[in-house]
Chain A
Amino acid sequence: MVSSDRGKAIVATVLALGASSVVSGCKDPVQTRYEPSDAAKSRGLVAIEKTGCGSCHEIPGVEWPRGRLGPSLAGFDDVGLIAGKLPNRPGLLAAFIRNAPAIKPGSTMPPMPVTDAEAQDVASYLYGLDSD
């Protein structure tokens, strides 16, 4: 399993190297391309594991659980619209994580028991999952 993951990672890296020259030119520079701090990212991972986001999402870095009720959160900084609706900005993402139905009416992700600060750390972690 490890070796096949590694194999995939190598393929992905090769593809990314090939593609980066093309893609990097057109990345949105300011808001979505921000660099979260390592401390915030690791606090975010702790909050994700404590809250059990994995019971509905596959999240890179979370071995278990890998629920499939919600979308996979891999490569989140490249997602265009949060839940297909909201511009992908840190503030909005944090607000969505905390209380999805309030930010996106009708969202089927329930409000999550995380504090405001935790939600921001979780957003940092998700943006930190840089795939390129």
Chain B
Amino acid sequence: MIEAVWGWPPPVLDPAGPYSAQVTTLSWALFALGVFVTGVVVVALWVAIKGPPNWKANLGGERAIWIGGVAFPGVVLTALLIWGLTLTASLTEPIRGDEMRIRVTGEMWWFRVEYLDPDGAVMMVDANEIHIPVDTPVVLELESADVIHSFWVPHLSGKKDMIPGRRTLLRIEADRAGEFGGVCAEYCGGQHALMGFIAVVHEPAAWQSWLADRMDTLANAAEPVAQESQRYPGDADLYPTEAEYLERYDARRGYDLFMETGCAACHRIAGSEANGLAGPDLTHIASRRSLGAGILPNHRGTLIGWIGDSQSIKPGNRMPSYDRLSAEDLGHIAAFLELQK
């Protein structure tokens, strides 16, 4: 998330879609005007203190007040208001109703993500990651499970509050593919600063295949420990002794531990007995880019670290640290979760 959210240029000045582009243009205009007005004030101040007497007299006269104090701000602010509202009119255009919809719920301190079908039924559940196709307006139904959060992907849109008991709508659109960091933008308690997510924008073909993969996973989800080998295909350079590792850590054992040690009471894995709703859905955990709501890279090490000791990483988060499990057991569980693409 750190790379995705920070970096240069800063995301608020690097729009990746029409809605954020308008906000950015308006911000630059406001910056420029602010600099200009500050300049005028500084010059006037200089004249008032050190300027020649006749300049001072002019500056203090009634005419200066009518021009500088009434006419100038009146004209400039009215023009700015009209221009600003016209420029950003599309931000508040009514939702048509036929856009793709995703429901995003703010929870302390992560994001629940539900993809809706055209009838509004949930067709796929995920967390902390939002996938959308490029050049397509997407409507987000924003909700909150506890306190007020705020949804913000600076590259793609302005902020919109997520309010308990209410549904707010936000339309986003991206005009280039990429990964864009998002954050909660409304203080929501201790770990607010570690509550992020990633918006992934796909080219049309990649979008189709991503969606097909996900649907495929769901269709075949009945056996969550299938296809044992090939956890990190193509990463032979990064994982030179993968075969030995696979021998040592047993995904089947991990599955049992997942069900026995209480994970299943808080986490759901489609097609298995695990149907807890208190924590993020883990059906696709292995294909997520981050762990812990956009805060850690997702690989075996961070996965084990998170499960074993999430309270050191994100103090006060609502998952207990599993430091009572042995390293071996944590390895088994990670081996199981690595299969949940």
Residue interface mask B283-308, A partner, CB < 8 A = 1: 00000000000011101111011101
User: In the complex, which residues of chain B have a beta carbon less than 8 angstroms from the beta carbon of A111?
Assistant: 239-242, 245, 300
How many angstroms between the C-alpha atoms of A66 and B248 in the bound complex?
Answer: 27
A99 to B305, CA, bound (A): 16
Tell whether B216 is near chain A: CB-to-CB under 8 Å.
no
| Complex Cα gap A53–B300 (Å) | 11
Chain B interface residue count, CB cutoff 8 Å, equals: 31
Given contacts A51-B297, A65-B312, A101-B248, contact A115 B305 (CB under 8 A): no
User: For the complex, what is the distance from the CA of A114 to the CA of B248, rounded to whole Å?
Assistant: 21
Shortest distance in angstroms between A53's beta carbon and chain B's nearest beta carbon?
A: 7
Q: How far is the CA of A89 from the CA of B20 in the complex (A)?
A: 52
Taking a contact as CB atoms under 8 Å apart, the answer to whether A67 and B240 are in contact is no
Interface residues of A in 66-90 (CB under 8 A from B): 66-69
Type the 1/0 row for A91-112, where 1 means its CB is closer than 8 Å to any CB of B. Answer: 0000000110110000011111
Q: Chain A residues near B240 (CB, 8 Å)?
A: 98-99, 102, 111
Contact of A66 among B295, B304, B306, B312 (CB under 8 A): B312
Q: In terms of DSSP, what is the predominant structure of the interface of chain B?
A: helix
Q: Across the interface, do A67 and B313 meet the contact criterion of CB distance under 8 Å? A: yes
A67 in contact with B312 given A51-B297, A108-B327 (CB within 8 Å): yes
Tell whether A56 is near chain B: CB-to-CB under 8 Å. yes
Q: Taking A56-B305, A69-B323, A101-B244 as contacts, is the C-beta distance between A110 and B312 under 8 angstroms? A: no
- List CB contacts (< 8 Å) of A27-64 with chain B: 49-53, 55-56
Cβ of B75 under 8 Å from chain A = no
Closest CB-CB distance, B181 to chain A, in whole Å? 15
Q: A101-B245, A102-B241, A102-B244 are in contact. Are A68 and B334 (CB under 8 A)?
A: no
- Residue in A53, A68, A102 whose beta carbon sits within 8 Å of that of B312 in the complex: A68
- Residue of A55, A98, A110 most packed against chain B (CB within 10 A): A55
Chain A residues whose CB sits within 8 angstroms of the CB of B328 once the complex forms: 108
A residues within 8 A CB of B314? 65
Nearest B residue to A114 via CB reads B238
Q: Are A69 and B304 in touch, CB under 8 angstroms?
A: yes
* Complex Cα–Cα for A105 and B336 (A): 22
Q: Mark B318-336, 1 if CB is under 8 A from A, else 0.
A: 0000010001100100100
CB-defined contacts of B296 to chain A, threshold 8 Å: 52, 55, 65
Indicate if A113 sits at the interface (CB-CB under 8 A): yes
Q: Once the chains bind, are A110 and B248 in contact (CB under 8 Å)?
A: no
Interface centre among A51, A67, A68 (most CB of B within 10 A): A67
A23 to B2, CA, bound (A): 41
Answer whether residue B235 sits at the interface, using C-beta atoms and an 8 A cutoff. Answer: yes
Decide if B302 touches A55 in the complex (CB within 8 Å): yes
Complex CA gap A110/B333 in Å reads: 13
Bound CA–CA A98/B239 (angstroms): 8
List B contacts of A49 (CB < 8 A): 2
Docked complex Cα distance between A52 and B309 (Å)? 14
- What's the nearest-Cβ distance from chain A to residue B323, in Å? 7
**With A67-B313, A102-B240 in contact, do A110 and B304 touch (Cβ < 8 Å)?**
yes
- In whole angstroms, how far apart are the Cα atoms of A51 and B3 in the complex? 12
Point out the residue from A69, A98, A114 that lies within 8 Å of B305, measured CB to CB: A69
Q: B238 to chain A: which residues have CB within 8 Å? A: 113-115
A113-B241 Cα distance, complex, nearest whole Å:
12
> In the complex, what's the smallest C-beta–C-beta distance from A73 to chain B, in angstroms?
14
Report the bound CA distance from A65 to B291 in whole Å: 13
**Which 3 A-B residue pairs are closest in the complex by CB-CB distance?**
A55-B305, A108-B327, A56-B305
Question: Beyond A52-B301, A101-B244, A110-B301: 4 further Cβ-contacts under 8 Å?
Answer: A56-B301, A69-B323, A108-B328, A113-B299
Q: Can you name 19 A-B residue pairings with CB atoms under 8 Å?
A: A52-B301, A55-B301, A56-B301, A56-B308, A65-B313, A67-B305, A67-B309, A69-B305, A69-B312, A69-B323, A98-B240, A102-B240, A108-B328, A110-B300, A110-B304, A111-B240, A111-B245, A113-B238, A113-B300
